[in-house]
A and B are shown apart, each in its own frame.
Chain A
Amino acid sequence: MQIIRLIEGQPATDIDVWTRIDDGEPLPEYAPTMVSLARWRSGRNDLVRRNVAVGVRLASHETLEGLAGDLERLDLIALDFPNLNDGRHFTTARLLRERHGYRGEIRATGQVLRDQLFAMARCGFDSFDLQAHQSAESAREAFSEISVVFQPAADGRTAAHAIRTGGAGAHFSAS
């Protein structure tokens, strides 16, 4: 499966190395393993003992509550978008980056539309499960269509307001 990944802000197409393990399914021995929040909670010790990268995926109604202390053990957090209109995880991603200082991979999964990629990147997502019918080439362009932003977010871009007051980053900055 193909994903889009941002590497130093630049989009590239990449191969997905993560294995999604459903609840109740046995854990693979070596592959980086992505589990549900429930599985993480119940099988946390088994998961960290293996010395293999672990990721957790959150359904759209799930929040970071109770997960903050675990973040440094997680290499990936996958945030699921069940439909085009459910924007809750835009907030989750920003909280991960800006409030919890999470440095691992934040992936958008589910109904991920090309035309949402830019907003997702601004909120801190850095990898994207593109739906099969969407063109990867076109998706890569989605990140550079707009160059002016009007509010600080997780991507550290300087907002228009801050550029105008001269303090690039001093006023409206997110770091």
Chain B
Amino acid sequence: MYAYDTLDRTFVAQRTAQFREQVRRRLANELSEDEFKPLRLRNGLYLQLHAYMLRVAIPYGLVSADQLRALARIARRYDRGYGHFTTRQNIQFNWISLKDAPDILNDLAAVEMHAVQTSGNCIRNITTDQFAGVAADEIEDPRPWAEIIRQWSTNHPEFSFLPRKFKVAVTGSASDRSAMRVHDIGVRLVRGIDGAIGFEIWVGGGLGRTPMIAQLLRGFLPKEHLLGYLEAVLRVYNVEGRRDNLYKSRIKILVSTLGIERFRDLVEAEWTLTSGPGLRLETAGIARMQSHFRAPPYADMPGRSREFEAKRLEDSAFARWAKANLFPHKQPGYAAVTISLKPIGGVPGDLTAAQMDAVASLADAYSLGEIRVTHRQNLVLAHVPQDRLHDLWRALDALDLATPNLSRATDIIACPGMDYCGLATARSIPVAQRLSERLAALDEQYDLDQLSINISGCVNSCSHHHVGHIGILGLEKGGAESYQVTLGGSSAEDAAVGRIIGPGFGAEDVVDAVETILITYLGQREDSERFLDTVRRVGQDPFRRALYKQP
């Protein structure tokens, strides 16, 4: 993983000191809240319903065991003993007081972490595939590129006051696990016609009030030009993006207003003028960055572990977990393990300090001391020898972290909603909890695999409900919560925005509605067809009839 050098350490230390001074000026009233707001936001600090929330950056979701232990300490010392992992592969602490924030940033800096640009109208944390570097279908590891972009975007003087937030995802595989096409920019490693590896650049994806799927901006960009090209895109956006209306200020609106061709012309024209040597990446620099992400020292092992096969036959609970939560590893004899943060009836993405410490120890013991956060709010131990999977599973089970539900009906993505978030129009956590309880049995009986249910507490769509196979959006109607349901969304390579099925449901009825949808699916599905494919094949009518009791 990327290791800081003196320059990185100096920057983070100076930035922390700078923020401490800004907080001091705010507390002494030398800064008004209006003036302070953009400053605290770009340091990860939000004002929520009950307290400040601090969002800590986890660049492309990668943390070391020591860093996770530091997060556990922060959860204990400054929060209420837990943290919440987000769809941006970050972690949020929900009960922070302003005066503590500089000390927390200090503690983070000690383990090479920070909260820089996790909020505000700037380039946000770069996200990627949680299986980067281990996936067999990978063209190239996307993490060095994510880190190159992260550094370039850090404290970028020109792009610190953009029209709106700006999110970039990078993927190195054909199957997109990074939700690249719902980002402002999606960068995808591809092989060009002559065999050289470069990038596809996608632009204008995003959710919120006006969900859009990114369009292809450039089919092939040579590697050395990545930053020059991104700078051109950002510059066009900074100048041309709307600033008069919060809901029309994302780059997706600019792209759709101009049309992709016109937007492309502007970018290419800008790029030919900015593509001087200043931002060109040299081979040596790329290689140095890649060396930070070299494959760890794996042991030589047979491709199939006898131990693992035997335990699977012996222990059906283990077999069930192994079926759901393992991902094939490119190194023979290894597997990537997903730790579900979606216990039945639990709060999606929450982890207690004690669990963080325990996961850190397990990462040290089983997975080369490294943990990854996924955009589905789960954790991954990416390098586990198959021989040791059963031991690991037992340890996880004892921590209540072995729920065998990855990408299943109860692997629900939910934002904090009305329980914490100042922008919420409805609760999302309690809905997720009740749904999880209701669907657990149905899943066990009918194998509700490859299903994504996403719940957002307002139109900002932090849980990406538009691209959930089943999306739930909590609104407020006449003083009561009303949940709007969409079907058929996807954030993968077949990205699509789901369609609203009909009138919303009250808080009491939405769980029944989802159950009805799934029962309808079970009646319609052919063989082991995914929910999404059934919806695409049969359309919305059967679901609508079942939900609204139409003939």
Contacts and interface: CB of A to CB of B under 8 A. Distances in A.
Interface string B6-23: 011011001101100110
Given A87-B160, A160-B8, A165-B285, A173 B18 contact: no
A173 B155 contact: no
A164 B5 contact: yes
A78 B10 CA distance: 33
Contacts of B34: 84
Q: Is the interface of A mostly helix, strand, loop or mixed?
A: loop
A152 B156 CA distance: 9
A147 B14 contact: yes
A47 interface: no
B83 to A, nearest CB: 27
Nearest to B22: A115
Contact of B279 (A85, A115, A152): A152
A7 interface: no
Q: Is the interface of B mostly helix, strand, loop or mixed?
A: helix
A127 to B, nearest CB: 17
A149 B160 CA distance: 13
Contacts of B243: 85-86, 88
Interface of A: 63, 84-88, 90-91, 94, 99, 113, 115-116, 118-120, 122-123, 135, 138, 145-153, 160-161, 163-165, 171-174
B321 to A, nearest CB: 42
B7 A87 contact: no
B273 interface: yes
Contacts of A84: 34-35, 38, 161
A90 B284 contact: no
Lowest 7 CB-CB distances: which A-B pairs, in order? A87-B161, A122-B157, A119-B157, A148-B11, A160-B7, A152-B278, A150-B154
Contacts of B35: 84, 113, 115
23 contacts: A84-B35, A85-B161, A85-B243, A87-B160, A87-B238, A88-B239, A91-B158, A115-B22, A118-B157, A119-B160, A120-B157, A138-B25, A145-B17, A146-B14, A149-B157, A150-B151, A152-B279, A160-B8, A160-B151, A161-B285, A164-B7, A164-B288, A171-B277
Contacts of B407: none
B121 interface: yes
Nearest to A81: B161
B154 A90 contact: no
A35 B8 CA distance: 43
Find the residue from B35, B227, B278 having the highest chain A CB count within 10 A: B278
Contacts of B284: 165
Interface of B: 5, 7-8, 10-11, 14-15, 17-18, 21-22, 25, 30, 34-35, 38-39, 121, 151-162, 227, 235, 238-239, 243, 273, 277-280, 282, 284-285, 288
Contacts of A161: 151-152, 285
B278 A165 contact: no
A20 to B, nearest CB: 24
A115 B37 CA distance: 12
Contact of A164 (B21, B162, B278, B285): B285
Find the residue from A88, A123, A163, A173 having the highest chain B CB count within 10 A: A88
A95 to B, nearest CB: 9
A171 B285 contact: yes
Contact of A91 (B22, B39, B155, B239): B239
Contact of A123 (B15, B39, B157, B278): B157
A172 B5 contact: no
A120 B160 CA distance: 10
B228 to A, nearest CB: 11
A146 B273 CA distance: 29
B273 to A, nearest CB: 6
B15 A146 contact: yes
A172 B7 CA distance: 15
A88 B7 CA distance: 29
Contact of B161 (A86, A138, A152): A86
Contacts of A163: 7
Contacts of A86: 161, 243
Contacts of B227: 151
Contact of B273 (A99, A122, A150, A173): A99
Contacts of B288: 164-165
A63 B38 CA distance: 25
A37 to B, nearest CB: 16
Nearest to B162: A87
Contacts of B156: 150-151
B163 to A, nearest CB: 8
A113 B160 CA distance: 13
Contacts of B285: 161, 164-165, 171
Given A87-B160, A171-B277, A172-B279, A146 B155 contact: yes
B161 A148 contact: no
Contacts of A122: 157
A85 B235 contact: no
A85 B244 CA distance: 11
B14 A148 contact: yes
A145 B243 CA distance: 29
A148 B14 CA distance: 9
A173 B277 contact: yes
Contacts of A88: 238-239, 243
Contacts of B162: 87
Given A91-B158, A164-B7, A151 B152 contact: yes
A63 to B, nearest CB: 7
Nearest to A99: B273
Contacts of B154: 150-151
